[in-house]
Amino acid sequence: MSDLPTLPLRPEDFTGRIAFHAANTDVAQAAKARLVARYGEAPSEAATAVVSLGGDGCMLETQHRLLGRNLPVYGMNCGSVGFLMNDFREDALLERLAEAQAATLYPLRMRAVSADGSAAEALAINEVSLLRETRQAAKIRILIDGKERLAELICDGVLVATPAGSTAYNLSAHGPIVPLGANLLPLTPISAFRPRRWRGALLPGDAQVVFEILEAGKRPVAAVADYTEVRDVRRVEVREDRSISITLLFDPDHGLSERIIAEQFTV
């Protein structure tokens, strides 16, 4: 882990101590070249912060590269969506980093058991989703903290999202947006057929969610934790892993909590 200066940080704390990660696009790569020429670049092992250049996908990739290190990441939008990104400007980067507000996130840990009995683990910063693999709808039993809450969900899939991920796939599946400080995890069905009126649930942040796949041979299901996919699963366990933290930096007028609240009033 980097030897971070004592808080509060000053602009000079970032001089020569910024690592850059850019999306593989002409715009992002050109922006990185200009910023490196202006501010210099350090390897992430010696950096005070990482500047991620691209869209939300690039930010997600940057976070996964740094999992377990809790090195602050400051994103600048050189992509399309950019919900997790600050506005791109080349001027006053050191000052912006010093004045930025921090948001702490925790990933989800997925443990998936496949048909052959093997188990795989992965971390998700956005969500863990279960998805049907064929034309047949999935049948899934849902248990929360060891208690059966839904005996059979017939659906295209179901997901558990982090608060930061609640504005991504979860939102497109009509799940609720969750503010960072709420300590809640959205549990959202994807195209549920039965129970037809079930719209999901909001779970405590420390809840353990277990999905058991019913009729798995006829209705195979894949489990996906951000980038990691496990095919033909039989049982999937999901919980928040508070032993790992992620720090994002935002300009004071564009904090993540404010963005999440504002998104709920977008029409």
CA separation for the pair 250, 122 (Å, rounded): 27
| Mean pLDDT confidence for 241-260 | 86
Identify the residue whose tokens are 């980097």: 2
Is residue 118 exposed (0-12), middle (13-18) or buried (19+ Cβ within 10 Å)? exposed
Instruction: Give yes or no for a cis peptide into 8 (omega within 30° of 0).
Output: yes
pTM equals 0.88
pLDDT tier at 190, thresholds 50, 70, 90: very high
CATH code 3.40.50.10330 region(s) in the chain: 11-105+244-263
Indicate the helix (H) or strand (E) that contains 56: helix 56-65
pLDDT-based confidence at 81, cuts 50/70/90?
A: confident
Q: Hey, which of 4-8, 63-67, 182-186, 207-211 has the most confident mean pLDDT?
A: 207-211
How many other CB atoms are there within 10 angstroms of residue 115's CB atom? 13
Please say if the pLDDT value at position 178 is more than 80.
yes
**Cα angle at 239 between 233 and 243, to 5 degrees?**
130
Per-residue pLDDT, 46? 92
Architecture of domain 11-105+244-263: 3-Layer(aba) Sandwich (3.40)
Cα separation of 267 and 263, whole Å? 9
**Averaged pLDDT for residues 202-218:** 97
Residue 37 assigned to a binding site = no
Q: Is 227 annotated as a binding residue?
A: no
- Which one-letter amino acid corresponds to residue 51? V
Reading the block at residue 239, the tokens are 């919980």
Say yes or no to pLDDT of 12 above 70.
Answer: yes
- Whether the Cβ atoms of residue 249 and residue 74 lie closer than 8 Å to each other: yes
* pLDDT of residue 3 exceeding 60: no
- For 118-144, the pLDDT digits (tens) are 999 999 999 999 999 999 999 999 999
What confidence category does residue 253 fall into, taking pLDDT thresholds of 50, 70 and 90? Answer: confident
User: pLDDT tens digits for 28-79?
Assistant: 999 999 999 999 999 989 999 999 999 999 999 999 999 988 899 999 999 8
Among residues 3, 13, 26, 56, the one annotated as catalytic is 56
**Residue 1: what pLDDT?**
39
Instruction: Identify the burial level of 27 via C-beta atoms within 10 angstroms of its C-beta, where 0-12 means exposed, 13-18 middle and 19 or more buried.
Output: middle
Q: What is the pLDDT of residue 229?
A: 97
Rounded Cα–Cα distance for residues 134 and 109 (Å)? 26
167 is in an annotated binding site: yes
For CATH 2.60.200.30, the residue range(s) in the chain are 108-240
Tokens of 249: 């930096």
13 catalytic residue (yes or no): no
Residues 136-164, mean pLDDT to the nearest whole number: 97
Topology (CATH level 3) of domain 108-240 = Tumour Suppressor Smad4 (2.60.200)
Report pLDDT for 2: 42
pLDDT at 8: 59
Beta strands (DSSP E) in 55-207 are: 73-77, 101-105, 108-114, 119-124, 127-132, 138-144, 147-155, 157-161, 184-190, 201-204
Mean pLDDT of 77-105: 90
Pair 184, 265: CB distance under 8 Å: no
State residue 262's pLDDT score: 79
- In the prediction, which pLDDT does 33 show? 97
